Structure 1
Amino acid sequence: MVWHFLVALAPIVVVLVLLATRVPSLWAGVAGLGTALLGTAVAFRPTGDVVQATVADMGPTVLEVALLLLGGVGLATAMARTGAQDRIASWLRETESGADRTVTLLLLVFGMTPFMESVTGFGLGVVITAPLLVQLGLPPAKAVLASLLGMVLVPWGSLGPGTLIAAQLGGEDLHALGVESALLTPVVLIVSMVAVLGVLVGRPDARQLALAAGVIVVEWGVLLGANVLIGTPLSGVLAPAAVMAGLLMVTRLTHGPLPRISAPLVRSVVPHLVLVAGILASTALLAVTDTADWLDWLSSPALWLIVAAVVAITASGVPVDRAAVARGALRRWVPTAANALVFMVLGIVMAATGMAEHLATTAAHLGFGFVATIPAIGALGGYLTGSNTGAAAMFSSATSAAAANLGADPLVALAGQNVAGSFAIIASPPRIALATAVTLAAGERLPGSAMRVIVRSVLVAAVVLGGAMLLLA
């Protein structure tokens, strides 16, 4: 028992130690993956059928993520080369007069970022928002940090498949888990808002604090109401949409009419409209028609990101060297994809071989105190896989069973794991690699000060959620 626990824990320890000693995340991930494969060979030894099933189930997902990263980097590169980012940022700057850009910044961080994440998933809210924050005048590192902190509704990302998997593996109703996850989300909203204000504002005045409180109340209120009345999938879309509408209304009331929407501005937002409309329309079409599973790729965010990148070039009305755009995107994509995929494969190996479940089951021997560690376990899964779907697949079954055996409410336990695991994605190497790839110069790393803000935010949220687990579960 102890031997298996140490073997299962070893890949995580290797990764954390190497990252703490400033080893590049790619090599830390490779070392962790090698440790996991060695542990698989000497201790866990999955059957051939398990290996084949894992490759068949997760292989397409790994490929989709690689293509998604390519599309995301391609879209960001095309938007920058055509000047579309500059035009959108200029319009946003004109919505507020004076030096205080709090409304615009909150609109992007807590409106646009979670909205795009809920529609597309895979961290694409950061792909859209981080470059715009740079265009608004933020230093690139702060733009990356703020956009990552804006990923507050990840349980509903991509219309909620991660929450669906957690419900299925945990034996709970999706609607009930969505509502319970929404009830716990204020922890993440408050922690993230405090960090964002500290990074972007410093010492907020009374007006800025009132705006921040209003954003939290609206986002959470609409999220909870939508989960109760409409259902889980669309809740993450409606809540940030309400925030954006509310902040634009505040701008309209305080500064007069919004700036004119010109034809060049419309062309600049067309790629984003294509991305959102394409995903929603294809998803709806596949849902109402009897089509073969192999056509599911039509609704893939990866496909529509690549389409949006092409549209960004062709619809811009600006002469662009397409070969230069392609070369620039590929230079950013190769290291980004390598970084992301090695951690994804590490998470897959740990889930498929039973390492992750063994860690959760062993932790349950702590007794009822285990309940307080559930958010931390979920956060570990989110960190390793860079995906709330991956975190749900790693731990949901073991979490639900362990909670039930201890006399705790499995629904509350799953919700705590779901919310904490989803928020911890902002610290995962795949998400940070994506954010830096579309914002920082090639090869540049996020400063240690920014990483500390991210890690502290995740830890605070996990600790507070752990306390909530003891009270509620």
Structure 2
Amino acid sequence: MIKVVLALLPLVSILFMIFILKKSSIFTGTVACILTTVIAISPVFHTSVVLLPKPFIKSFLTTVPVIYILFFGILLFHLMDKSGAIQKIATAIATSTDDKTYQVLLLALGLSPLIESVSGFGLAVIVIAPILIALKFNAIQSSLIALISLCIIPWGTLAMGTMIGASLGNIPLEDLGVGSALLCIPIYIYFAFLVTYIGVGKKAMKKKQLQILWIGLLLGLSVWICNRFISVELAGLVGSLTVIITIFIMITLHNRSNQHRSNALLKNISPYLLLIVLLFISRTIPPIKDFLTHLFTVTIKSYHFQLSFLYSPGFFLFIVCLFTCILFRLNSASIIDSIKLTINKCYPVLLTTFLYIVVSEMMSEAKMIQLLSLTAAHSFGSLFIFITPLIGATGGFLTGSNTASNTMFIRLQTETAIQIGASPTLLACIQNVSSSLMTMVNPSRVALSCSVCNITSLENNIQIKMAIVSIGTLSIIFIEIIFQLLFLK
């Protein structure tokens, strides 16, 4: 019993420091690392001091691809923001139609997922919320819609959190991406109706219920198709652009005077289009894929680490950043300022990610994860699958990061799945989706949204409303679990 309590202590300490003590992620991660190390080398777990460097080295190597992708992903956002492209995309979408339903769907299921797919970490809220207010939606509506629009997070920052989850959970990336996408299809339909209801009300929503259903289904299906047949990293980009193009076509059928706006929009989204083309080519043409995966590849067999610098999404983001600088003729001052902003945004996230991975690797090295999974299997048996979304949701809510949540919990989920005879991939998918979609309820995300909308005094009210949204999301996941158990065994 003492051994189980000590094995749980690192995870409980993280939740306690974040939720009760309100400590920063970096402080929490640092304390958790020290605590986990002390427990690992204690007489209870008998981990040799000689083995202690291994989790730190492995964690650093796991973080390197994250650095590569995250830095250039956020840099692309800031470069496009400096050029005015983000605002022009937003304006083109916002002014393309007077129909409030189409405006909400374009922004919440189109533009926001597009930005989040490349940049991540809630940056889309900063763009979406002010546009909604400019379009005469009230501050509460704008805040709620902007938060719900962070729905593409399993594929945010080119699916970084999902890739980390696949690596730590020992699940094939494509399987985790496809499974997560299937779980998200009914949830995206729910979000499509929800943002429309918040924005235009029940009566107006009923008038376009078929279009709303189609847009939610389209986002889910296009994300699934991309995961299944093209690339997990591209899924968020493809899904969001599919929604934007489809709604523009629907608008154009009623108003044929949008040609000039469409041309302007095409230029401003061209960096995203180039990114899609580059990633698509690199992942679907075998000779190019083989060439890129073997050139400038670093392999460390003892740590099961491999990074192909020219095949990683980070390399293509780098090319697109250069393209953006040339296309929009950015001066050196704008580029330097964008780099500074990117560094300021990146280092806390990267340090936090590294610290949480250290905790996970240290717990694994000391056999704490195995002990907890065995205990969970004996305590809950096959019912553990219903605990899985609650664990994922807790991680996403408290950390505000799918990467951090998956780092903390996905290995526990998959290990327990093996113990109870369930599918590790299924539990990993449930963890990935519930974790991702609960980040929109994270207090810091809510605070950001309220700050942008200038309603900080209503922060508690928005938090409660988003909690209700999350109950609906988790309810759908529970229904999907029951369906899986009854019909897809």
Fold shared, TM-score > 0.5 on shorter chain: yes
**CA–CA separation in structure 1 for the residues paired with 2:351 and 2:391:** 20
The question of whether the paired residues in 1 share the 8 Å contact of 2:82 and 2:334 is answered with: no
**CA–CA separation in structure 2 for the residues paired with 1:327 and 1:161:** 25
Alignment of 1:374-385 (within 5 A): 374-383=388-397
Tell whether 2:36 aligns with 1:32.
Answer: no
Specify every segment of 5 or more residues in structure 2 that has no aligned partner in the other structure, as ranges. 42-46, 299-306
The question of whether the paired residues in 2 share the 8 Å contact of 1:344 and 1:385 is answered with: no
**CA–CA separation in structure 2 for the residues paired with 1:48 and 1:55:** 13
**CA–CA separation in structure 1 for the residues paired with 2:404 and 2:392:** 10
Partner of 1:243: 243
Q: CA deviation at 1:372?
A: 0.9
Alignment of 1:415-454 (within 5 A): 415-427=429-441, 440=452, 447-454=459-466
Change (3 A) 1:133 1:398: closer
Partner of 2:256: 256
Partner of 2:7: 4
How many residues matched? 455
The question of whether the paired residues in 2 share the 8 Å contact of 1:360 and 1:395 is answered with: no
Change (3 A) 1:374 1:357: farther
CA offset digits 1:11-44 (Å, max 9, x no partner):
211111134xxxxxxx432342243134224312
The question of whether the paired residues in 2 share the 8 Å contact of 1:340 and 1:430 is answered with: no
The question of whether the paired residues in 1 share the 8 Å contact of 2:164 and 2:407 is answered with: yes
User: Helix, strand or coil for the counterpart of 2:21?
Assistant: helix
Specify every segment of 5 or more residues in structure 1 that has no aligned partner in the other structure, as ranges. 20-26
**CA–CA separation in structure 2 for the residues paired with 1:159 and 1:225:** 16
The question of whether the paired residues in 2 share the 8 Å contact of 1:182 and 1:223 is answered with: yes
The question of whether the paired residues in 2 share the 8 Å contact of 1:11 and 1:36 is answered with: yes
Q: CA deviation at 1:342?
A: 4.5
CA offset digits 1:185-233 (Å, max 9, x no partner):
2353245335533554454612344332221222334445566666866
* Greater alpha carbon shift after TM alignment, 163-172 vs 396-405: 163-172
User: Helix, strand or coil for the counterpart of 1:343?
Assistant: helix
Partner of 2:356: 347
**CA–CA separation in structure 1 for the residues paired with 2:169 and 2:129:** 39
Q: CA deviation at 1:281?
A: 5.0
Percent of pairs identical after alignment? 24
The question of whether the paired residues in 2 share the 8 Å contact of 1:412 and 1:469 is answered with: no
Change (3 A) 1:456 1:56: farther
Change (3 A) 1:50 1:109: farther
CA offset digits 1:111-147 (Å, max 9, x no partner):
34445655x4x617x5468526634626899767645
Aligned residues: CA RMSD: 4.5
Partner of 1:192: 191
**CA–CA separation in structure 1 for the residues paired with 2:370 and 2:186:** 26
**CA–CA separation in structure 2 for the residues paired with 1:179 and 1:327:** 38
Partner of 1:85: 86
TM-score, scaled relative to structure 2: 0.73
Alignment of 1:314-325 (within 5 A): 314-316=326-328, 322-323=332-333
* Greater alpha carbon shift after TM alignment, 361-370 vs 244-253: 361-370
**CA–CA separation in structure 2 for the residues paired with 1:287 and 1:394:** 32
**CA–CA separation in structure 2 for the residues paired with 1:370 and 1:50:** 32
Partner of 1:292: 296
**CA–CA separation in structure 1 for the residues paired with 2:90 and 2:380:** 52
Q: CA deviation at 1:330?
A: 2.7
**CA–CA separation in structure 2 for the residues paired with 1:134 and 1:397:** 39
Partner of 1:181: 180
Change (3 A) 1:352 1:386: farther
Counterpart residue identity of residue 340, structure 1: V
Change (3 A) 1:282 1:385: farther
Partner of 1:371: 385
* Greater alpha carbon shift after TM alignment, 215-224 vs 450-459: 450-459
Q: CA deviation at 1:297?
A: 3.2
User: Helix, strand or coil for the counterpart of 1:109?
Assistant: helix
Alignment of 1:104-119 (within 5 A): 104-115=103-114
2:340 to 315, 330, 351: 330
The question of whether the paired residues in 2 share the 8 Å contact of 1:367 and 1:406 is answered with: yes
Counterpart residue identity of residue 31, structure 2: T
CA offset digits 1:214-261 (Å, max 9, x no partner):
212223344455666668666555444432332122112222343315
The question of whether the paired residues in 1 share the 8 Å contact of 2:79 and 2:334 is answered with: no
TM-score, scaled relative to structure 1: 0.75
**CA–CA separation in structure 1 for the residues paired with 2:27 and 2:231:** 41
Tell whether 2:24 aligns with 1:14.
Answer: no
**CA–CA separation in structure 2 for the residues paired with 1:71 and 1:10:** 33
User: Helix, strand or coil for the counterpart of 2:24?
Assistant: helix
